[in-house]
Structures are given as structure tokens and as C-alpha cells.
């Protein structure tokens, strides 16, 4: 019977390697979530997705969703375009 492996939490360096430079507060908050590398990568893929081209994506759940929320918390909504 295969042994179950405990999830390894992503380190600060792994988070920065995946997401790029982050301000200290966001990085600290992400480390506090104790995400796995896979969860950080899932959040990045979701953030990089082009929902205008591919349509609505299924909502993220769990830690990946919390990562997206942290990373997008201070983004302003785009103002409506005059048309």
C-alpha cells in the first residue's frame, strides 16, 4: 500500500518564483495561508486566464481562491468605456 504524503507548504521563495515580486504584506499573507506549490500555480493559471476569450471559468475553491482574493484585493475595477 502506498504511503500518503503530507502536503508540503510552499516556501516564501517558491511563492515568489511562481508569482513574481510581491509587496511584503501580500507575501506575508500568502505564506500565512500555507498553500502548496500546486495551489499557488493554480491561482496563477486562473489569474492569467483570458476569460474574455474562453468564457467564464469555473470558480476556484479553497486556498487557490484565497490566493486570488489576496492578490486582487486592491485592484480597481476598470471604468466603463464610453461607446
What residue segments make up the domains of the chain, in order of their start?
12-72
Mean pLDDT of 68-81: 73
Q: What percent of the chain has pLDDT over 90?
A: 57
Mean pLDDT of 57-80: 79
DSSP string, 24-71: HHHHHHHHHH--BHHHHHHHHHHHH--HHHH-PPPPP-HHHHHHHHHH
Q: For 17-52, how does the pLDDT look when each residue is reduced to its tens digit (9 = 90+)?
A: 999 999 999 999 999 999 999 999 999 988 888 555
Amino acid at each position: 500500500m502506498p504511503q500518503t504524503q503530507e502536503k508540503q507548504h510552499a516556501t516564501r521563495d517558491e511563492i515568489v518564483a511562481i508569482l513574481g515580486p510581491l509587496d511584503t504584506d501580500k507575501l506575508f499573507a500568502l505564506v500565512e495561508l500555507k498553500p502548496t506549490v500546486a495551489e499557488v500555480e493554480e491561482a496563477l493559471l486562473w489569474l492569467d486566464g483570458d476569460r474574455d476569450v474562453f468564457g467564464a471559468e469555473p470558480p476556484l475553491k479553497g486556498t487557490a481562491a484565497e490566493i486570488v482574493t489576496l492578490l486582487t484585493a486592491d485592484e480597481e475595477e476598470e471604468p466603463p468605456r464610453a461607446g
